[in-house]
Structure 1
């Protein structure tokens, strides 16, 4: 019985192809040219490298020479355990060399783990190498995952004297990584790909506004990237909020003039991230903030540190004047972060949320069409969440827009612990349109 390869799930096709030997590649080259021209682009549009040997196989000529031009997406993964730091560096030495052989890469996923002391050097050399490859001129989407390995954890450099991990590296790594870039020392990255429109970043911490107190945890992001991006998606455990988004900005601030979609998935944040978004991303059309621990406290400090204001005031002022903003999705704000999240009194009422939406519209956010507030609850060990949503659909007429109570719906009463849907968490895993869907009551 024959089975069509293309009727199989994409993941299974990738798994099958990962075991194809060089000999089988050569046998495949003997089939008709018409067959190759049809099959190769379908099967090899996306490839994964999980070990350096898998990547090195694409250095060969013959049929592999037919494969490289049709590949548009490459995923580079960490080989072995994440605490094997030298294997990570070895792998990316091979990955970046082989990448130079691919002329038409439009999407790239880099997944690495490294200790903080070596992170700036490895990231710098990766993106310097990228700037010398054909992919630099064709790349449109970059998914960059960088996990920091704790210095006190067990890893293959844990025996370094005085924790000087750079000095503990063998000489060949010094030659590859270049002079050490120490923490707090700014090194300008190479210019970004001129056609890059989407950046998906997973990191431990970052800052939207680089200040003298908190430099951005985006050491590879050049100003040229910020100018070309239309979609920015970031997942992080922590975000550093500027004391005052309007002032105290360092010379490394970015101009996000073309950005249309901003999605943040945060572990810890507060209301002050909202006015910072307003100051930095005034031209965006879609804003999504997902959470795995985010909260809104009962009061927030103003930037001068002397006055406290109610959360309702901060929320109402969050997006005034953002003339292009069309859709917003936020975590459902809580009154007190220490209360039980299932208790009805621990969340701002739908009426207060409606008031905030009206404030945004009356304050100049005239293009607003949809607002969604979401409660996310952990579900199981497979990193899944349950959601409760309340949505506002903005009613339009010839003179104004308003948040109509008739278009307000919510399917879940928080004190009952009911849910709307089940989804697997992960930045970039769901489309922007899906994130704004709120099923009406049946």
Structure 2
């Protein structure tokens, strides 16, 4: 029997339900305007615009201090260096992170202790963390992934009980909160990335928040001993990459060109899905690489300040962050409302609290059916991906600190991100829900 011909209505649904796996949070005109601004005389300086951004961050997060850096990794490095920890002191941390998180620890002659993760919130498992405590444990570094909010009060109580410094990595959780208090304000020191894919972004960069005058003064002293202006070529590289991705995922272009291109590639490669190189090698792609490195030092290009141009980019997103996050929360609720009880079993438990999560990503557990689910989603127009971050606990370059952690492996290799962005509609969420429901029958 021949398939029924596509009607105008079904044809419209066929094309309109084509969704990219991820979209940036910028407005397209803002990106092109930033390309012009990057050529201005004071673009690379660190003056009033950067100060305005730091003050705006303090006001938004109700934080006493905000310090800016070139990246999350340097924010972590400067923060740890300022604490005057002893050689061999231990840092408890999640295994899914960027490799330079580990390098920052090792370069300071500290010891990374990987702790397995919770499948409910993709954060460090405190019960397992307690088993890793030794007299040398000094810091708990909690990385919040995908906009999912863990129980912050339990983490805070744990660190206070064991006299640990609590450092937050809230790079993927801007605008998320717990008990009406923003993530990024629970830690003794809180560090966030401002790289191009983040909800709050300056194309590349980082922020450090703290309520402590002492911590702020010591970190600032470390930062200002080394930093210099970033180079225009590096900033231009990251901006042009943003423009390319943003343009390729614009609705008309994605529907009629990008998705069709991906579909052809998925057929030619025989996999039914297309994966991208997360961090392509390029001389100006200084912070990312496809293969992790064990560093003997951080390169000079890492020691740069957040310039006026970067601050201007981030301020634009900061102004819209609350509104856009609330839109994603509404869409997440729409998705939840249309999921079957069986399909809901694939969702990490803490992701259901749509009032506090920021929905940077929307991960689902695949229960061993990852490739099958990916193909079925893409077949229904829903492109999808997963964590590009490294499972650092299994990177051989970090031996002898490596170990096999069951839940971390599941999160890294058996999780799929389904599309959720403030640019989507309720109908898109219903389509995703219907697809998941059919897959779990």
Do the structures match in fold with TM over 0.5? no
- The answer to which structure has the higher strand fraction is 1
The TM-score bracket by the shorter chain reads under 0.3
Larger Rg: 1
